[in-house]
Amino acid sequence: MPNRDCRVGFMWNTAFDSFDYGDRHPLRPGRFRMIRDYLDSAGLLASANVVEIEAEPLSMAVLERVHSSEYVESVRRISQTGEGEIDIDTPGFRGIYENALMLSGATVTGVRAVLSGHVEHFLSPTGGFHHAKFERGGGFCVFNDIAAAVHELKQHGLNRILVADFDVHHGNGDQAYFYDDPEVMVISFHEDPEWMYPHEGYVNEIGSGRGVGYNINMPFPMDAGDSVYRYAFDELVPKLIDLFRPQFILFLPGFDAHYLDRLAHLKLTTTMTRYITGRIHNAAHKWSEGRLGVVTGGGYHPDSLCWGVASVMSVLSGREYSPPRQNPPFKDDEETWRTVHETVDQVKDSVFPVLGI
């Protein structure tokens, strides 16, 4: 990867951690401060080419375009009383409406900073709420910042937007928003939906109408590791990106696919995080004039989450960072390789002919 001193915006607001899903919920208060402190301790925020950008809450104009008025009003009611739930895994609390506006607004603030030329890339310690749909939330997601960011980009005349989603859970909300939209290509690498929430994201879900072929799902078997993941990436993603020639890339690195993560079963290391980030970063400079936004998404082990975010910032900023040595408990075996080979071939057969690859 060539050395570049790219201008990188780090999104921040002290209100990020103003949430409380309860003591036993995987999302814990202090999560975002922990990420910021780790990046700071690693020297990744002190570089001259890294600037802190104050996140602003999502505007009503954008919110009302990406969510139904009934759903927005239900979140407001829960926020006022602290009673009720967004979904079974996303309990309500007092102030959830304001917190969700800030967390999703950070992504849109970052998009605007890139479009203005203030920075080439942004990295947010939050964002990636890809389970929220037009009329409901869930999966720890209240308002869909990716949909809001795409709306913002389209308002500025962009019509080829790539959502590169490597979160271990399929982005069913994003898929629902853009399923028939040829101006948004969604590439999702995730654990097999047969047993993994949200039980969507099968290979045959390739889009509809004018959007056929622009929704790409690559599910992985349990215990898949770096080797098969890199194979699938190299076989699929560069060809898709080069065909689509995105004008802006929204990137979820997939920190919860790490072998230490508590909510999934893949066995990746930050070596793969760095590899994928490098390829996406290069693609942004090749096709998108460097315009790249990174949102954190999941990641529920504090160490692997911090290592992953630091690896991404290292690639974007060109600054050195090396995480601790990692030793996943399994290597990719013959059965895993066979399954991934077959799935990659199915993805190619499903979307490549439609797209003319």
> Which CATH code for domain 8-355?
3.40.800.20
Calpha distance 225→233 (Å, rounded): 12
This prediction has a pTM of 0.97
**Confidence bin at 3 (pLDDT 50/70/90):** low
- Match 């290509």 to its residue by tokens: 185
Q: Where are the domains of the chain?
A: 8-355
- Report pLDDT digits (tens) over 139-161: 999 999 999 999 999 999 999 99
Find tokens 């926020």 and name the residue: 79
Residues 6 or more apart whose Cβ sits within 8 Å of residue 118: 7, 9, 51, 53
Measured in degrees and rounded to the nearest 5, phi and psi for residue 237 equal: -70, -50
Residue 233 has pLDDT above 70, yes or no: yes
Structure tokens at 337: 């390789």
Beta-strand pair 121-124/8-12: parallel
CA angle (209, 214, 217) in 5-degree steps: 115
**Token output for 19:** 């949430």
CA 251 to CA 198: how far, in whole Å? 20
Chain-centroid distance of CA 101 in Å reads 17
Please confirm whether the linkage preceding 238 is cis (ω < 30° from 0). Answer: no
Q: Tens digit of pLDDT for each residue in 66-87?
A: 999 999 999 999 999 999 999 9
131 in catalytic set: yes
Question: Is residue 264 within 8 Å of residue 301, measured between CB atoms?
Answer: no
Q: How confident is the model at residue 2 (pLDDT cuts 50, 70, 90)?
A: very low
- Catalytic pick from 67, 121, 130, 131? 131
